[in-house]
């Protein structure tokens, strides 16, 4: 009988860019080769700022992540390699398929995928999804979810580390 794995989900409210970056850093600190972070949510939700935090956690430094909106894939080296991919400008599945991005997901390094819901296929089961929703001008609701063992482990550690530092919504 197949083991049913329940999805875990963790939700925080950040009330400033700095807090969103800090939360990204707490995730980034934990990441290692092969980890995949799928970012979804509102336009201007904070995906690129969150990615800066992930980069800081990977010891890449805050100046190295610029919005990849016009370059599609940005590659950085810190504690591990980070591939920051943004699918925003890609219009259809055929266009995304033609770019042959699958190799990034199965190779070494860490992948942060902005607008991951535009990805045409299934993402690997270990993917951690982070949804960023705009609440008001300075507040964003960030929901972390995943069901694979690795994702559950990372989200569990995140919950322990964030503790009472941010308002927990769920």
Ligand X SMILES: Nc1ncnc2c1ncn2[C@@H]1O[C@H](COP(=O)(O)OP(=O)(O)OP(=O)(O)O)[C@@H](O)[C@H]1O
Residues that bind Mg ion (CB under 5 A): 47-48
**Joined tokens for residue 77:** 């080296």
Residues that bind ligand X (CB under 6 A): 14-17, 20, 43-49, 67, 88, 114, 132, 138-140
Cβ closest to Mg ion, residue 8 vs residue 113: 113
Residue 165's binding partner, choosing from Mg ion, ligand X, none, with beta-carbon cut-off 5 to 8 A by kind? none
In angstroms, give the least distance from the CB of 49 to ligand X: 4
**Joined tokens for residue 116:** 């991951």
Residue 43's binding partner, choosing from Mg ion, ligand X, none, with beta-carbon cut-off 5 to 8 A by kind? ligand X
In angstroms, give the least distance from the CB of 114 to Mg ion: 5
CA distances to 21, 26, 131 from 163, rounded to whole Å, are 16, 11, 20
Cβ closest to ligand X, residue 64 vs residue 88: 88
Q: Which letter does DSSP use for residue 145 in this model? A: E
In angstroms, give the least distance from the CB of 24 to Mg ion: 13
How far is residue 18's CA from residue 15's CA, in Å, rounded to a whole number?
A: 8
Cβ closest to ligand X, residue 16 vs residue 165: 16
In angstroms, give the least distance from the CB of 107 to ligand X: 24
Residue 129's binding partner, choosing from ligand X, Mg ion, none, with beta-carbon cut-off 5 to 8 A by kind? none
In angstroms, give the least distance from the CB of 139 to ligand X: 6
Residue 126 CB-density burial (10 A; 0-12 exposed, 13-18 middle, 19+ buried)? middle
Residue closest to 143 by CA, chosen among 69, 33, 63, 39: 39
**3-state DSSP assignment of residue 67:** coil
Residue 89's binding partner, choosing from Mg ion, ligand X, none, with beta-carbon cut-off 5 to 8 A by kind? none
Residue closest to 8 by CA, chosen among 143, 112, 141: 143
């Amino acid at each position: 009988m197949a083991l049913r794995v329940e999805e875990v989900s963790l939700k925080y409210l950040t009330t400033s860019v700095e807090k969103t970056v800090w939360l990204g850093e707490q995730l980034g600190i934990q990441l290692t080769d092969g980890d995949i972070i799928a970012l979804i949510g509102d336009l201007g939700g904070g995906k690129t700022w969150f990615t800066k935090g992930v980069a800081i956690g990977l010891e890449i430094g805050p100046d190295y992540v610029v919005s990849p909106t016009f370059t599609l894939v940005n590659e950085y080296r810190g504690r591990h390699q980070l591939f920051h991919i943004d699918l925003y400008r890609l219009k259809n599945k055929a266009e995304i398929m033609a770019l042959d991005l699958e190799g990034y997901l199965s190779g070494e390094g860490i992948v942060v995928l902005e607008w991951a819901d535009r990805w045409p296929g299934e993402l690997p089961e270990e993917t951690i999804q982070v949804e960023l929703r705009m609440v008001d001008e300075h507040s964003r609701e960030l929901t972390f979810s995943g069901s694979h063992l690795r994702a559950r482990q990372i989200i569990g550690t995140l919950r322990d580390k964030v503790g009472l530092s941010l308002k927990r919504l769920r």
